[in-house]
Structure 1
Amino acid sequence: MKRSRNQNKPQAPHNLILEEIIGLTTKNGNGLASSISSSKCAYIAGCVVVLYDVHSGTQSHFMAPNRVRKPLSCVALSRDASIVAAGESGHQPGILVWDCATLSVICELKGHQYGVACMALSHDGKHLVSVGFPRDGCICLWDWRNKILAAKVKISSVSSPIASIGFSFDNKYIVTAGKNQLKFWKVRWSPGSRARTGSVSVALLRKVDLGHHNESSFVAVTSPCWMSRSSWNQIQAGEQIPFYSVTEKGTLCMVYPGSSFIKSVQLEVEKCFALSLSTSLVACACNNGLVKLYGSVSLKYAGGLCYAEAKRCEESNVTDSKTGTRQVELESWPTLPDAIACQFSTSEKLVVVYDDHSLYIWDIHDIHKATRCCVLVSHSGCIWGIRNVPCEYMHDPSVSCVARGCSGGLSFATCSADGNIRLWDLAIESAFSEDRTSLLGIDSSNEATCLVSAGIFERDSVAKGISAPGFRSMAVSSDGNHLSAGDCQGNIHIFNLHTSDYICIKDAHGGEILSLSFNLAGRNDIASTEALESHFILASGGRDGRIHLFDADRNFNPFGTIDYHSSAVTALKVSRSGCEILSCGADGFLVLHSVDLSDMECKITSVRKIATTGIIYDMAVDNPMDVAFTACQDKKINVFDLQSGKLVKWFKHDRDIGDPIKVTTDGTCSYLACSYSNRCICIYDCITGEVVAQARGHSDVITGIIFLPDCKHLASVSRFYFLCS
Structure 2
Amino acid sequence: MTVRSRNGGPGSSIRITPSNSPGLRAPARSPNKTSLHQSSLSLQTVIGTTTTNPNGFSSHVQSRSFALCAGSAAILAELDDENRVTQRFFKARPSASSVNPITSFYNQSTPPSTPDPRTRSVPSLKANNAVSSGSPSSDLAESNSPRSWSSRERIKAVTSVSISPNGRMLAVGETGYNPRVLIFSTAKDGSSEIPLSILTEHTFGIRALAFSPTSQYLATLGDANDGFLFVWAVNLKTGSARLHSTNKCTFIVRQLCWMGQSLITVGVRQVKVWRLLEARPVSPVKSRLNADSTTNSPTGAPKALSGRNCVLEDLVSSTFTSVASISDNEAVVGTEDGALCHVEDTEGTVRLSLIKYVGFSILSLATDLEQNCIWVGGLENRIQRLPIEILRPSRPHSPGASGRTSAGQKSKGPSVTCMASLGSHLVTVDSGREIRIYEVDSMSDDGEQSQLPLAISAHRDAVRGVSPLARPNRLQADFFTWSSQGTLHFWDTNGECRESRTVALEQPAGADENHTNELKILRATEDLELFISGDKLGVLSVFLGKTWKCVNQVRAHGGEITDVALLQATDSCLIASSGRDRTVQLFRSSAESLELVQTMDDHVGSVNQLLFINNGEKLLSCSSDRTVIIRERMTREINGEIVVAYLISKHIILKSSPLSIAPSTDASNMLIISTVDRWIQQYDMESGKHMRLFKTTDAESADTVVMSSLTMAAEIPGQSPTLLVGVSGTDKSIRVYDMDREVLLTAEFGHAEGVSDVCLLQKEPGSPGETITRTVVSAGMDGVVMIWNLLVQPQQSQDSIQTNSGEEDIRAGLKELTVSRPPLRKVLSRSELAEFQRQENITGTPTPVRPPSRSLVRKSSKFSLTSSSLKNENVAPTTPSLSSSTSRRSPTSQSRLQQLRRSPSPTPKSAPGKKPSNISNNTRHSPSDFHSRGKNTSRSEIGGLNTSTEQICRTLKAYRRKLHSCTENLQSQKELERELDLTLRVLASRSKSRNDAETETDSSGKESEGKQKPFLHVSHRMSPASGRI
TM-score normalised by structure 1 residue count? 0.80
Q: Secondary structure at the match of 1:610?
A: strand
Considering only CA atoms, is the larger Rg found in Structure 1 or Structure 2?
2
Residue matched to 2:379 = 287
Counterpart among 690, 697, 713 of residue 653 in structure 1:
697
Higher share of residues assigned helix: 2
Contact 2:46-2:495 within 8 A present in 1 as well: no
Counterpart among 465, 474, 478 of residue 522 in structure 2:
474
In structure 1, list runs of 5 or more residues that go unmatched: 225-230, 232-239, 301-333, 395-400, 427-454, 525-533
Counterpart among 244, 248, 252 of residue 340 in structure 2:
252
Residue matched to 1:71 = 157
Q: Which deviations, in whole Å up to 9, do the C-alpha atoms of 1:614-657 show, x marking residues without a partner? A: 22222212367522222211012222221121222223213425
Counterpart among 618, 621, 635 of residue 663 in structure 2:
621
Contact 1:126-1:143 within 8 A present in 2 as well: yes
Q: Distance in 2 between matches of 1:81 and 1:571?
A: 49
Q: Distance in 2 between matches of 1:603 and 1:256?
A: 79
Deviation at 1:553, TM superposition (A): 4.4
Change (3 A) 1:7 1:589: closer
Counterpart among 431, 437, 449 of residue 355 in structure 1:
431
Q: Letter of the aligned partner of 2:550 in structure 1?
A: Y
Residue matched to 1:203 = 305
Deviation at 1:358, TM superposition (A): 1.3
Question: What pairs up with 1:300-449 in 2 under 5 angstroms?
Answer: 335-344=412-421, 346-368=422-444, 369-370=448-449, 371-391=451-471, 394=472, 401=473, 404-406=474-476, 411-426=478-493
Q: Secondary structure at the match of 2:305?
A: strand
Change (3 A) 1:244 1:491: same
Question: What pairs up with 1:448-527 in 2 under 5 angstroms?
Answer: 455-463=494-502, 469-498=517-546, 500-519=548-567
Q: Which deviations, in whole Å up to 9, do the C-alpha atoms of 1:180-239 show, x marking residues without a partner? A: 111111101557693545566353342111110112222222213xxxxxx7xxxxxxxx
Residue matched to 2:90 = 62
Q: Secondary structure at the match of 2:277?
A: strand
Q: Letter of the aligned partner of 2:262 in structure 1?
A: Y
**Higher alpha-carbon deviation: 614-623 or 53-62:** 614-623
Counterpart among 727, 730, 733 of residue 675 in structure 1:
727
Contact 2:634-2:646 within 8 A present in 1 as well: yes
Q: Distance in 2 between matches of 1:182 and 1:349?
A: 30
Q: Letter of the aligned partner of 2:159 in structure 1?
A: S
In structure 2, list runs of 5 or more residues that go unmatched: 1-29, 97-152, 281-289, 393-410, 508-516, 716-720, 764-772, 790-1029
Q: Secondary structure at the match of 1:365?
A: helix
Q: Letter of the aligned partner of 2:653 in structure 1?
A: A
Q: Letter of the aligned partner of 1:79 in structure 2?
A: P
Deviation at 1:564, TM superposition (A): 1.3
2:243 aligned with 1:152, yes or no?
A: no
CA RMSD, Structure 1 to Structure 2 (Å): 2.7
Change (3 A) 1:599 1:283: farther
Question: What pairs up with 1:202-281 in 2 under 5 angstroms?
Answer: 202-224=304-326, 241-258=329-346, 259-269=350-360, 271-279=361-369, 280-281=372-373
The count of residues paired between Structure 1 and Structure 2 equals 616
Higher share of residues assigned strand: 1
Q: Which deviations, in whole Å up to 9, do the C-alpha atoms of 1:255-305 show, x marking residues without a partner? A: 111342514221222x332222112232233223323332233149xxxxx
Q: Distance in 1 between matches of 2:625 and 2:363?
A: 47
Q: Secondary structure at the match of 1:175?
A: strand
Q: Letter of the aligned partner of 1:672 in structure 2?
A: L
2:265 aligned with 1:180, yes or no?
A: no
Q: Which deviations, in whole Å up to 9, do the C-alpha atoms of 1:600-619 show, x marking residues without a partner? A: 34433111111123222222
Q: Distance in 2 between matches of 1:262 and 1:584?
A: 66
Q: Distance in 1 between matches of 2:342 and 2:664?
A: 65
Deviation at 1:594, TM superposition (A): 2.1
Q: Distance in 2 between matches of 1:87 and 1:299?
A: 32
Q: Which deviations, in whole Å up to 9, do the C-alpha atoms of 1:414-445 show, x marking residues without a partner? A: 1110211111122xxxxxxxxxxxxxxxxxxx
Change (3 A) 1:621 1:297: farther
Deviation at 1:490, TM superposition (A): 1.4
Q: Distance in 2 between matches of 1:103 and 1:481?
A: 47
Deviation at 1:504, TM superposition (A): 3.2
Q: Letter of the aligned partner of 2:774 in structure 1?
A: K
Q: Distance in 1 between matches of 2:340 and 2:354?
A: 8
Deviation at 1:98, TM superposition (A): 0.9
Identity between Structure 1 and Structure 2 (%)? 21
Residue matched to 1:705 = 758
Residue matched to 2:579 = 542
Residue matched to 1:630 = 673
Residue matched to 1:100 = 186
Q: Which deviations, in whole Å up to 9, do the C-alpha atoms of 1:66-117 show, x marking residues without a partner? A: 5454211101012243221110011111101111123422111111001100
Q: Distance in 2 between matches of 1:564 and 1:242?
A: 72
2:608 aligned with 1:570, yes or no?
A: yes
TM-score normalised by structure 2 residue count? 0.57
Q: Distance in 1 between matches of 2:645 and 2:272?
A: 76
Q: Which deviations, in whole Å up to 9, do the C-alpha atoms of 1:423-476 show, x marking residues without a partner? A: 1122xxxxxxxxxxxxxxxxxxxxxxxxxxxx3322222336676843111223
Contact 1:491-1:509 within 8 A present in 2 as well: yes
2:221 aligned with 1:131, yes or no?
A: yes
Q: Secondary structure at the match of 1:462?
A: strand
Q: Letter of the aligned partner of 1:653 in structure 2?
A: T
Change (3 A) 1:57 1:611: same
